[in-house]
Structure 1
Amino acid sequence: MEIRQLEAFVAVAEELHFGRAAARLRLAQSPLSQTIRKLERELGVTLFDRSTRSVALTPAGAALLPHAHRVFEELELGRQATRAVSGAVYGTVTVGFSGALNHRTLPPLTRAVRRRYPQVTLNLVAGMLTRDGVLQIERGSLDLCFVALPLDASPAVRSRLIAREPLGVALPIDHPLAEDPEVDLADLADEDFITTPAASGSGLREAGVRACIGAGFRPRVVQEITDPFMILTLVAAGVGVALISDGVAQIMPSGSVFVPLRGAPTYLDHALAWSADNPSTVLRAVLAVADDVMPIPH
């Protein structure tokens, strides 16, 4: 079994189309088909069900695919190791983040990594809320993710606090409390709330519900939105109000205002999460940069 055969197999398995796979590999379709047939003969199995309209993995092909991925992961780790010996840091780190909630924390990290390690690529994945981010780390789809604490995760998932932001309330600009310097959360007990989905395990939602219960009520949620900035947009549209961390006060859309909450603050704790089982030397380098630019807050 040759590396070029595995490259051909992975391309067809991911594209499920010989033409697209050939274009991806910059090959003609006929040599690609010949390479796949040769691999099937060597293995003694059929890897793809082919028809004039579709291509699908057979059970044998599906069994081979994760092992093929691991071969290329090991090759990449080998390349990283050889560069590390000479002091160079090279490779890709896949980073998940939620969006607007990370507008203060993501840019300092990406800028610092780009300055210090110009050969490191950060593959940024937006719309990743805490529970989904943790699952992707456990599965190996993400190397690093911006999350909220506390985490419900396996022991292999490590995290570090990088910022603490008190919750406030986003109100439509014509709300009766919109011009107040502070708002009692209890005064919002009869309001319609917009928040992130419960199923996503969002730290923002959990912190908001905790604050409302502390104020003597459970919020009436009328709309669930994954994107935090779209939550603010719906507030501006008059759909409801939203509890949000004060980090977004500078990016409120027109038609909405951010008002701090009166009394003891409820904090949204921002963190970075990663797997201790991830052997990537590039991830370790990025974490070291994060330690420098985002020290643990007091």
Structure 2
Amino acid sequence: MDLELLRTFLELDRNRHFGRTAEALNLTQAAVSSRLQALERQLGVRLFERGRSGMQLTPEGGRLRRHAERIIAAWRMARQDVGGAEAAGQLVIGGSHRLWDVLLQRWLNALRRREAGLALIAEAAAPEHLVRRLLDGTMDVAVMLEAPQIDSLKVDEIGHLELALVATDAALDPAVALDNRFIEVDWGLSFGLDFRRAFPDAAVGMTRVSHARMALELLHANGGSAYLPLSMVNRELDIGLLYRVGDAPVFRRSVFASYAVRTARRESILQSLALISGIDGAGSPGN
């Protein structure tokens, strides 16, 4: 099996678009199509259906995705293990996109500084992908805002985020701050429910983004308001680029680490997670 065919398949599944996949892989669209056809010939099945709603995985494609992710991850780990003979060990860490800019990049920086001899593989992905990797044994630990309820996974609360309503204009009340310049950040279902309970009459925002960093850049460029982690905006608050919105509630989101109940790397995992408590803004569990 040609690994490049599997990589192309996975990238096409992520993008669901030949042009974007070709750009991501630095290929032509014809080359992407040729690789997909070659993989379909080898397997004897169609992997994608193409219709009015765009490209969708067939049931066979969905089953292949799980195997392809495992194969690529196993090859990456094998290459690191064999080629990284000088490394004292290896740790594969993951985190949700929502947390990467806010917290996990600083965790990775600290881990790299402290464990100079440790081979690290880091990945930001959607929670369902991270859980799948944990269950497959191709990832050692994942940090998310969601706590997976799976018996084979150990879940530890390792910190929390404090999400505050901030705005580019001073002295706003919540009703004004939640106007059509309000930027909705996707902090997950739990936050969405808490937000609607606190602001039942708030209109749906005209702008919705998946990452806190995107919202912060939009605020700097165009003004408005958004719920963002205090740890991310403390500097802007201190120098007057952003302002807290008076009387708006602060929402707390717990941060969880998940790893296999039975893992030979438990000590390395716990040592790596201990670094998070020393990161500004990570909070402490239960506080």
Match of 2:106 in 1: 107
8 Å CA contact 1:194–1:224 kept in 2: the answer is: yes
Q: SS of the residue aligned with 2:142?
A: strand
**Structure 1 residue 70, shift from structure 2 partner:** 6.3
What is the CA distance between 1:252 and its match in structure 2?
Answer: 4.9
The gaps in structure 2 that reach 5 residues or longer are 10-33, 46-59, 82-86, 279-283
Structure 1 alignment gaps of length 5 or more = 1-8, 18-50, 81-87, 173-177
Asked if 1 retains the 8 angstrom alpha-carbon contact of 2:166 and 2:228, the reply is yes
Q: What is the SS of the residue equivalent to 2:94?
A: strand
Q: Name 1:220's counterpart in structure 2.
A: 204
Q: Quick one: which amino acid aligns to residue 167 of structure 1?
A: L
Report the AA paired with residue 119 of structure 1. Answer: L
2:195 alignment partner in structure 1:
211
Give the aligned partner of residue 183 of structure 2. Answer: 194
Q: Cα deviation per residue 1:72-100 (whole Å; 9 max; x = unaligned)? A: 949969x97xxxxxxx8412414224267
1:91 is aligned to 90
TM-aligned CA deviation for residue 291 of structure 1? 2.7
2:130, 2:241 → 1: CA distance? Answer: 29
Q: Given the alignment, which residue of 244, 269, 282 partners 1:259?
A: 244
State the partner residue of 1:179.
170
**CA distance in structure 1 between the aligned counterparts of 2:8 and 2:214, rounded to whole angstroms:** 34
Which residue, out of 147, 158, 162, partners 1:162?
158
CA distance in 2, matches of 1:106, 1:71: 23
Aligned pair in 2 of structure 1 residues 160, 229: CA closer, same or farther (>3 Å)? same
Q: 2: distance between equivalents of 1:272 and 1:248? A: 21
Aligned residue number for residue 244 of structure 1: 228
Residues 132, 213 of structure 1: alpha-carbon distance in 2 compared, 3 angstrom cutoff: farther
Mapping of 1:77-88 within 5 angstroms?
Answer: none
Instruction: Please state how far the C-alpha of 1:104 moved relative to its aligned partner.
Output: 4.1
Residue in 1 aligned with 2:257?
A: 272
Q: How many residues align?
A: 233
Structure 1 outlier segments of 4+, above 6 Å = 60-65
User: Contact conserved, 1:16 with 1:54, CA < 8 A, in 2?
Assistant: no
Task: Write the deviation string for residues 34-53 of structure 1: whole angstroms up to 9, x where unpaired.
Answer: xxxxxxxxxxxxxxxxx899
The verdict on how the C-alpha distance between 1:101 and 1:170 changes in structure 2, with shifts beyond 3 A counting, is farther
Distance 1:74 1:263, change over 3 A: closer
TM-score with structure 2 length normalisation? 0.59
Partner of 1:146: 143
Distance in 1, Cα, partners of 2:233 & 2:43:
52
Asked if the contact 1:99/1:228 (under 8 Å) is kept, the reply is: yes
Do the aligned partners of residues 290 and 185 (structure 1) sit closer, same or farther apart at CA in structure 2, a change above 3 Å counting?
Answer: same
Aligned-residue Cα RMSD (Å) equals: 4.6
Length-normalised TM-score, structure 1: 0.57
Between the aligned partners of 1:71 and 1:14, the Cα distance in structure 2 is 8
Task: Choose the corresponding residue for 1:56, options 29, 35, 39.
Answer: 39
Q: Deviations over 1:249-271 (max 9, x none)?
A: 14659995141553763212223
Q: What percentage of aligned pairs have identical amino acids?
A: 12
Distance 1:211 1:252, change over 3 A: same
Does residue 1:291 correspond to 2:274, yes or no?
yes
